[in-house]
């Protein structure tokens, strides 16, 4: 019975794109004591209390053309709006490489970006400053960072493998472009895209505050 249950679970989670797609699944949960004990991304002194964060479980299309379930942590006030965005991205079959909690990478932003991981909450400063990032409040999400890199005013690209995608005239799997369905989905909940920033330009970044 256990083996049968595992087979059925695998079938329910990984569905080929050519098959009839299962309905989107999205849920919002409080951070459990067990999850909190495993989170390196949160600690006392962060600008948002753990009770004001929520765990999202969402369906998404992967680069392999199959349906996966991902996990994000966001601010409680943004939880259901973000689920609505993810539902929209699922409906248009926008591919996302992976959606893992940044804790899977020891809360290292660099490691998460290099893995092309889509993530949200991480109690960290804006790189090179002592100013809290919007990620530290659970009010920002980075999507497919390799195909949507951060480009500084000096031309530095993060992650480095994103250099191949700095030319935004390209049309590659997982890329986000001005005015496209991804940008519009976030705009519908009042979130802003870093791809519109003059310098630096952050193509992966969406936030509730525009920062």
Counting the structural domains of the chain, the total is 1
pLDDT at 3 over 50: no
pLDDT at 191 over 90: yes
pLDDT at 2 over 60: no
Query: Which helix (H) or strand (E) covers residue 27, if one does?
Result: strand 26-30
Neighbours of 194 (CB within 10 A): 22
Question: Which of the four pLDDT bands, split at 50, 70 and 90, describes residue 97?
Answer: very high
- Per residue in 148-184, pLDDT (tens digit) is 999 999 999 999 999 999 999 999 999 999 999 999 9
| Interatomic CA distance for residues 109 and 113, integer angstroms | 6
Neighbours of 33 (CB within 10 A): 9
Contact 77, 95 (CB under 8 A): no
Range of the domain at 129: 2-207
**Per-residue pLDDT averaged across 38-66, rounded?**
98
Helix H segments across 92-193?
Answer: 109-114, 181-187
DSSP secondary-structure letter at 72? Answer: E
| Global confidence as pTM | 0.89
pLDDT at 11 over 90: no
pLDDT at 19 over 90: no
**Per-residue pLDDT averaged across 189-206, rounded?**
97
């Amino acid at each position: 019975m256990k083996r049968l249950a595992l087979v059925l679970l695998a079938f329910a989670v990984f569905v080929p794109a050519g098959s009839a797609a299962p309905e989107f699944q999205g849920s919002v949960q409080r951070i459990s004591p067990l999850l909190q004990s495993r989170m390196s991304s949160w600690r006392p002194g962060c600008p948002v209390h753990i009770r004001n964060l929520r765990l999202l479980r969402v369906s998404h299309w992967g680069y392999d053309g199959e349906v996966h379930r991902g996990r994000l942590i966001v601010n409680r006030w943004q939880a259901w709006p973000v689920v609505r965005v993810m539902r929209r991205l699922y409906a248009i079959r926008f591919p996302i490489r992976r959606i893992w909690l940044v804790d899977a990478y020891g809360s290292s932003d660099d490691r998460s970006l290099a893995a092309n991981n889509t993530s949200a909450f991480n109690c960290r400063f804006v790189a090179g400053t002592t100013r809290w990032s919007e990620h530290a409040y659970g009010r920002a999400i980075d999507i497919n960072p390799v195909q949507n890199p951060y480009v500084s005013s000096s031309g530095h690209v993060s992650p480095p493998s994103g250099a191949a995608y700095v030319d935004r005239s390209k049309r590659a799997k997982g890329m986000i472009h001005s005015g496209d369905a991804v940008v519009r989905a976030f705009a519908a909940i009042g979130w802003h895209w870093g791809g519109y920033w003059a310098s630096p330009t952050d193509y992966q970044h969406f936030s509730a505050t525009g920062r």
